[in-house]
Amino acid sequence: MKNIIIKSLFLVVVLLYSSCMNEGLESLNEDTKNATVADPGGFFANATVSLAANINGLPYRATGPGITRLWVQHFTSVTYLEGATYIPEYSWAELYRDVLNDLNESSKILAGTVASNPGEEKVIKNQQAMIEILKVYAYSNLVESYGNIPYSEALDFNNALPKYDDAKTVYLDLIDRLTSAINNIDSGVAGFGSSDLIYDGQAIKWIKFGNSLKLGMGMRIMDVLPQIGSEIILEATTLLIESNDDNATFRYLSEYPNTSPWYNFTVRQGLKYFVGTNTFIDKLNDFDDPRRSVFFTPTSDGTFKGAQYGVTQDYYSFSKQGQYFDEPELATIFIDYAQVQFLLAEAAERQVAGITDAESYYNEAIRASLEYYNISSEDADEYLSQPNINYSTAQGTWQEKIGTQKWIALFNQGFEAWTEYRRLDYPKLTAPAEAESDIVPLRFLYPISEQTQNGSSYEAAAAAIGGDNYSTKLFWDVEYRLESHYRQ
């Protein structure tokens, strides 16, 4: 009996010792340096980087929004003509996978941390609102590119075949979401801090960004839903981007790989594809525009010369992008002060209640663009005094005056320039002879992958919008298009 007791005690001691040893060994496996929970700020920052790259990328094939800088004929390719002639090869994968999915992950993580972070509810609410603003920005770009898109069933890994939702329904829902997000931001509370690569945590500027985005979305629908559009515009004017200091931009760094897509393509890789078009540079020459020497370099004879759009030509015979755009830190602009002022000028012309004096907003928009490119106020005065620039003496309708000057101010902001060209019908642009379309595209074609992988939803969407064609107008593009836009 005594031996049994001794053996039992010995076993207990061994088990206790073993347990202690195991606890000690387990603690050695604990990572005390790296986070055990994903950082919502990291997802938010990565989504911002991906969104900037998507807007401002520079593929020579027509694969995304960046190619629209060719479609609005700021530039043309003189080597590979796929982008300039509208070869149909499009993708929305980056926006869904790298932008919207990361924003969703950031939002989910924040939602799961509210209970464990007492006292931080307002900060988390601000962060969720900022996520929502970028989601609306990304989704609105998709609607403005394609029309009907996957929305209510998008980003669901359990549903590989999402349906496409009606574009107008989606757009109005996005505006409602944007309004809620703006209202949820407390300007006196922090946001994402250093993970905010647009405003570095300044909540008040996110309110301005949100309202400026809302102003643009309200104007997009003015031709089809004028009453709703006017109400949205008036709501947005409570606090807008008020100067170039408020511009919503993403600025790259000086060291590769964190340098701008333009720098990577034209400087680091030395690819000599793009030059200015005669369509654009001739207009700058006609206006003696002081931005001309910022946008482009002169040719060997000291003049600024653009190439014919959509034709293989000698790269060295024409003006290339200026030194300003060769800098690795070149910013991607989401929304800027000039855009806001042009929208207000248009609101005044459309007689939106309480918004008057289109000429003042027009002048301020041009000044804002010139100031952004470091053009002096004296040169701005001289530019605006020209009879063909001055709002009261320049020829054409208000659509032509605002549309032409906005086209210039939106240089290197291809997607916004293309969207405003489609909406205002100015300037007059025609498709090149060898293009896949008789008209400058009014929308992107759906990705080819959708036809093969999500065929039923694709076919239903194409039928609903009137055909998966370049000439299909999106729901907000209802105004008559000038016949001169069509290839002769």
Domain boundaries, the chain: 40-257+434-470
Q: What percent helix, strand, coil does the chain show, rounded to 5?
A: 55, 5, 45
Secondary structure of residue 150 in the 3-state scheme: strand
* pLDDT band at residue 61 under the 50/70/90 scheme: low
d(CA 81, CA 435): 9
Rg (CA), the chain: 27
- pLDDT, one tens digit per residue, over 357-381 is 999 999 999 999 999 999 999 999 9
pLDDT > 70? residue 103:
yes
* pLDDT band at residue 11 under the 50/70/90 scheme: very low
Which pLDDT does position 37 carry in this prediction? 65
Which pLDDT does position 480 carry in this prediction? 74
Please state the φ and ψ torsions of residue 76, each to the nearest 5 degrees: -135, 155
pLDDT > 60? residue 459:
yes
H/E element, 194: none
How many beta carbons lie within 10 A of that of residue 151, not counting itself? 21
Vertex 478 angle, CA 164 and 240, to 5°: 85
CATH topology of domain 40-257+434-470: 1.25.40
Secondary structure of residue 228 in the 3-state scheme: helix
CA distances from 409 to 74, 370, 391, 405 (A): 11, 8, 16, 6
pLDDT > 80? residue 226:
yes
CA distances from 104 to 114, 146, 180, 190, 313 (A): 16, 22, 17, 20, 45
More confidently predicted of 486 and 253? 253
Q: How far is CA 124 from the centre of its chain?
A: 24
CA distances from 204 to 184, 186, 200, 302 (A): 12, 8, 11, 46
Average pLDDT over residues 62-68: 81
pLDDT > 50? residue 439:
yes
pLDDT > 70? residue 453:
yes
Question: pTM above 0.85?
Answer: yes
Provide the sign of the torsion angle of the four alpha carbons 106, 109, 111, 117, taken in this order.
Answer: negative
- Provide the strand spans (E) within 177-282: 248-250, 274-276
